[in-house]
Amino acid sequence: MKEMWDERYGQEGYAYGEEPNVFFQVTLDSLPKSGRILLPAEGEGRNAVYAARRGWVVDAFDISAVGRDKALRLAQRHGVHIDYQIADYQTAHIEPASYDAVAMIFAHLHERERRSVHRRLATALAPGGAMIVEAYSKEQLRYGTGGPPTEALLYAIDELAEDFAGLRALRLQQIETEIREGKYHDGLASVIRFIGVRESI
């Protein structure tokens, strides 16, 4: 898996563009204040850099050193700092109750590990912190406009609700929408969007 991402991120340009994911951007801008944010599976850094430009203290991680290098170059170009680990979900240093937001944007987790990872990430939220998720739904296989080619890496709305049952859901919906993010996310797609808030430890 690491080799696949290194190859993709090693191509010329940014695989998913340099602009932030639209749902992430709109959601982040709607939060009452900036603070500390964690971005798992951050790839080439487009969302991390946007958050830093908006005044957030940014921690990110990914398994791809190639993606990290491009993310740091993007941050330098915009004059911001991001703290970016090379790690997977098991080895990443994640402090409990320390983040005002955690954002998983097209982080393709296998169904066998998804729930445990989601619940660990939810514990990283401080009281009042927001979990932001956009993921391809299982119906995305019919669209062919991006995302994993196997159902085990795609999401169902009821599964996501159960994964984050400890958070108060502000938004949980499956929608059909246009995604225009480089050559790998391009066209009409079926996605699930979730915003949840941690109310207490």
User: Per residue in 124-145, pLDDT tens?
Assistant: 999 999 999 999 999 999 999 9
Q: Could you tell me the mean pLDDT of each successive run of 10 residues in the chain, 201 residues long? A: 87 94 98 95 98 98 97 98 96 95 97 96 97 98 94 97 97 97 95 95 64
Q: Which residue has the tokens 């398994």?
A: 63
| Residue 123: Cβ within 10 Å count | 16
Q: What is the pLDDT of residue 75?
A: 98
Give the amino acid at 2.
Answer: K
Q: Yes or no: is domain 2-197 CATH 3.40.50.150? A: yes
B/e letters for 85-120, b = 16+ CB within 10 Å, e = fewer, are beebbeebebeeeebbbbbbbbbbbeeeebbebbee
Could you tell me the pTM of the whole model? 0.96
Give residue-wise pLDDT tens across range 58-94: 999 999 999 999 999 999 999 999 999 999 999 999 9
Which of 142, 106, 80, 134 has the alpha carbon at shortest distance from 5? 106
The answer to whether the beta carbons of residues 43 and 15 sit under 8 Å apart is yes
The sign of the CA dihedral 72, 74, 75, 77 is positive
pLDDT at 33: 87
